[in-house]
Amino acid sequence: MKVGIVGVGAVGSATALSLVERGGSWREIVLLDRDTARADGVATDLHYAAPLSPTVDVRSGGYDDLADTAVVVITAGVNEKAGGATDRSDPKGWLRLLETNVRVYADIVPQVVAVVPQAVLMVVTDPPDPLADLTRHLAGHNPVFSTGTLIDSLRFRVQLADRLRVRPRDVQAQVVGEHGTSEVLLWSSATVGGIAVTDLLGKDGQSVEELRREVENDIRYANITVIEGIGASQYGIGAVSARLVEAVLRDERAVLPVAAYSSAHEVTLSLSSVLGAGGVQQTYVPAMSPQEQQALDDSVHVLREAAELAIAVAGRGCSP
Residues marked as catalytic: 179
In the chain, the amino acid numbered 218 is D
Rounded to whole angstroms, the Cα distance separating 17 from 22 reads 9
> How many other C-beta atoms lie within 10 A of the C-beta of residue 21?
16
DSSP letter at 177 equals B
Rounded to whole angstroms, the Cα distance separating 94 from 306 reads 11
Please tell me whether residue 160 adopts helix, strand or coil conformation: helix
Please tell me whether residue 66 adopts helix, strand or coil conformation: helix
DSSP secondary structure string for all residues of 86-138: --TT-TTGGGGGHHHHHHHHHHHHHHHHHH-TTSEEEE-SSSHHHHHHHHHHH
